[in-house]
């Protein structure tokens, strides 16, 4: 929830808010009057209770004024960020779930001096004054410019350097992915520009515009770890202007930043003025352009759903190409499935199976292999607590029943920051699961989700309309954000477990299989297990050659292929193998 939205909630209950903050005050017409923010009786401070200025206040004795956020912070004596937290608690607004942040090594205070004449001349050539250099606390170390990344609490989190003569950058060891220039951002700044480099950041401040700079430049992928790290700090802003350079890397960055910070509060800045497209803000600044004109012309980006069909001309040609490779998306762990089955973005797959037939275990192996293919996952394992789920994943990754603590530490490094869990065991509200999934997608870049299972998402067994509606909601979510959702669904009880069920045996609404993109059935060969316990010798020998498990694809909308795969279960590793003679896949290659 943005600060603007929170302020509207406060405005809607303005009398209760001012009574809560300043109970000694009195209503006088359309205002609440009090002596000061200290709360004594009097009339020097007045707060508007009605009209367009609801929540606006002024203290005529001191000259202080502001909105309800400023009032809350002044009365409580807390920072803007702490005031936001108190206001959310007062209004009963839940913060998103907090996943564990990676730990970064804070740098030592750099041994540097204030900029000398040569460096100040360098900045002057860039159109940056000595006042702005001092405001951002720029230092000098030899021939290098020192950029201190200081967080809102005054803690030094990163030190970055740039050689004045060569465009060469470096930083401290294990750098924290934080934003530059928090040290200059005040509590009264409600809008912010996010730009590509420190020089551009100083350029905006030179023109009196609050700005932050990304630490690793533009592009895509790992360059945007700062979104995850700074997510909570950026919640304080109502409007975020995304101003990347005009080159390809800058525009690639815009797409990912928009998607993860949210289009509802982001505007994209185009560096165009009077028919000229500038490379970066500093170039425009040196050409005499007022950067505020770029911000005034900035616009939100249309939802991805609203497009001209002709925009897809190249994709259509690609679809019509008879030689194109139709298989895209995440591979399953077994080579024999590579040419026929994938878990594609913008799809929902259903994973069904009789209770105890291993569908969750098999899907866990798919997730682990997906991590090995450089994807991030979030799993709502509502039928298994985190410790048991983790133990199974550790066995699958390490290929042993009981990995040593040292070996388990190496396994942890594989899954760390790649597998998140919705930490609830038992029935959970379906809406909350999607909220957490969306948070994980925006903040951490998660692209693959598992919901295990539909029956634990808060629906009655016979509430088919609600189940169908929720699966439809999952499908829309996957389609809109180009992620994959794997949904575990139980099967109806049949006459025997020795016959594989089909997609029409899925428990719940019959429309589930119709709505999703793919349906997989996991079937355990109970007949083989029965014969191996004792029986005719010839039948036992024949049964030994049969697979332990069948993975049956009964629907695949993308290519129409519906293959079945025989798999052999390896108890020590909890892995399903594609051949009887195969060895389990060792994701961690050696035990220490």
Cα distances (angstroms) measured from residue 550 to each of 256, 353, 500, 546: 39, 10, 8, 10
Torsion angle of C-alpha atoms 327, 330, 335, 339, degrees rounded to 10: -10
Q: What is the mean pLDDT of the chain?
A: 91
List pLDDT tens digits, range 232-242. Answer: 899 889 899 99
Higher pLDDT, 446 or 255: 446
Q: Which residues contact 498 (CB under 8 A, 6 or more apart)?
A: 526, 527, 530
Confidence of residue 99 (pLDDT cuts 50, 70, 90): low
Pick among 3.90.580.10, 3.40.50.10710, 3.20.20.80, 3.30.470.20: CATH of 3-91? 3.90.580.10
pLDDT of 192 reads 97
Predicted TM-score (pTM) of the model is: 0.63
DSSP assignments along 74-88, one per residue: HHHT--HHHHHHHHH
pLDDT at 261 over 50: yes
35 and 42 Cβ atoms separated by less than 8 Å: yes
Residue ranges of alpha helices (H) inside 298-450 are: 313-320, 359-372, 386-398, 405-415, 430-444
pLDDT at 592: 42
CATH fold label, 117-297 = Dna Topoisomerase Vi A Subunit; Chain: A, domain 2 (3.40.1360)
The pLDDT-based confidence of 100 (bands split at 50, 70, 90) is low
Q: Which of 158-167, 175-184, 537-546, 572-581 has the lowest mean pLDDT?
A: 537-546
CATH superfamily of 330-577: P-loop containing nucleotide triphosphate hydrolases (3.40.50.300)
Sign of CA dihedral 304, 305, 306, 309: positive
Task: Tell how far CA 86 is from the center of its chain.
Answer: 25
Cα–Cα distance measured from residue 551 to residue 544, given in angstroms and rounded to the nearest whole number: 18
Question: Where are the chain's structural domains?
Answer: 3-91, 117-297, 330-577
- Encoding tokens for residue 436? 């957490």
Q: Which two tokens stand for residue 169?
A: 């950058």
Region of poorest pLDDT, from 234-238, 347-351, 515-519:
234-238
> Higher pLDDT residue, 36 or 460?
36
Torsion of CA 273, 276, 279, 285, to 10 degrees: -50
**What 3-state DSSP class applies to 468?**
helix
pLDDT at 572: 93
How far is it, in rounded angstroms, from Cα 72 to Cα 77? 8
Rounded CA separation 4/455 (Å): 38
Range with the poorest average pLDDT among 40-49, 222-231, 362-371:
222-231
- The tokens describing 140, both together, are 């000098």
Spatial contact of 552 and 521, defined as CB atoms under 8 Å apart: yes
């Amino acid at each position: 929830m943005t600060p603007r939205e929170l302020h509207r909630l406060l405005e809607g209950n303005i009398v209760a808010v001012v009574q809560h903050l300043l109970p000694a005050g009195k209503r006088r017409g359309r205002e609440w009057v009090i002596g000061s923010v200290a709360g004594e009786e009097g009339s020097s401070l007045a707060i508007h209770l009605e009209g367009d200025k609801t929540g606006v206040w002024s203290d005529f004795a001191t000259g202080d004024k502001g909105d309800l956020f400023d009032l809350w912070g002044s009365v409580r004596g807390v920072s803007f960020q702490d005031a936001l937290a108190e206001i959310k608690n007062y209004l009963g607004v839940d913060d998103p779930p907090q996943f564990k942040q990676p730990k970064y090594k804070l740098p030592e205070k750099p041994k540097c001096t204030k900029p000398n004449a040569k460096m100040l001349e360098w900045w002057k050539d860039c159109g940056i004054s000595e006042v702005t250099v001092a405001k951002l606390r720029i230092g000098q170390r030899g021939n290098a410019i020192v950029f201190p990344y200081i967080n809102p609490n005054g803690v030094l989190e990163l030190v970055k350097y740039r050689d004045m003569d060569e465009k060469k950058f470096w930083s401290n060891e294990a750098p924290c992915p934080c934003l530059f220039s928090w040290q200059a951002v005040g509590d009264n700044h409600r809008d912010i520009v996010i730009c590509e480099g420190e020089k551009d950041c100083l350029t905006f401040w030179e023109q009196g515009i609050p700005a932050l700079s990304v630490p690793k430049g533009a592009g895509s992928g790992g360059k945007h770890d700062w979104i995850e790290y700074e997510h909570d700090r950026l919640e304080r802003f109502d409007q975020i202007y995304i101003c990347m350079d005009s080159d390809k890397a800058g525009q690639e960055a815009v797409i990912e930043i928009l998607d993860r910070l949210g289009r509802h509060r982001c505007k994209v800045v185009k560096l165009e003025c009077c028919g000229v497209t500038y490379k970066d803000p500093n170039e425009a600044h040196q050409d005499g352009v007022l950067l505020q004109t770029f911000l005034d012309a900035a616009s939100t980006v249309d939802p991805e759903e609203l497009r001209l069909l002709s925009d897809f001309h190249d994709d259509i040609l690609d679809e019509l190409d008879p030689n194109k490779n139709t298989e895209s998306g995440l591979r399953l762990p077994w080579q024999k499935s590579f040419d026929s089955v994938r878990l594609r973005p913008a799809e929902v797959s259903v994973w069904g199976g009789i209770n105890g037939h291993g569908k969750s275990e098999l899907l866990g192996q798919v997730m682990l292999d997906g991590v090995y293919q450089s994807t991030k996952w979030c799993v709502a394992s509502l039928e298994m607590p985190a410790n048991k789920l983790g133990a199974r994943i550790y066995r699958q990754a390490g290929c042993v029943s009981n990995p040593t603590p040292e070996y388990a530490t190496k396994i942890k490094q594989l899954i760390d920051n790649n597998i998140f869990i919705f930490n609830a065991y038992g029935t959970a509200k379906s809406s909350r699961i999607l909220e957490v999934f969306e948070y994980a997608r925006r903040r951490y870049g998660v692209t693959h989700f598992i919901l295990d299972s539909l029956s634990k998402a808060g629906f009655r067994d016979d509430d088919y309309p609600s189940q169908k509606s929720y699966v439809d909601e999952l499908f829309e979510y996957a389609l809109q954000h180009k992620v994959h959702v794997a949904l575990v669904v139980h099967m109806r009880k049949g006459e025997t477990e020795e016959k594989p069920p089909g997609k029409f045996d899925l428990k719940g609404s019959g429309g589930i299989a119709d709505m999703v993109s793919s349906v997989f059935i996991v079937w355990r060969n109970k007949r083989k297990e029965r014969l191996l316990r004792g029986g005719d010798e010839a039948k036992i020998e024949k049964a030994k050659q049969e697979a332990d498990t069948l993975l049956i694809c009964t629907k695949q909308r993308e290519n129409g292929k519906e293959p079945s795969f025989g798999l052999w279960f390896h108890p020590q590793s909890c892995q399903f193998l594609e051949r009887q003679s195969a060895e389990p896949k060792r994701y961690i290659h050696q035990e220490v």
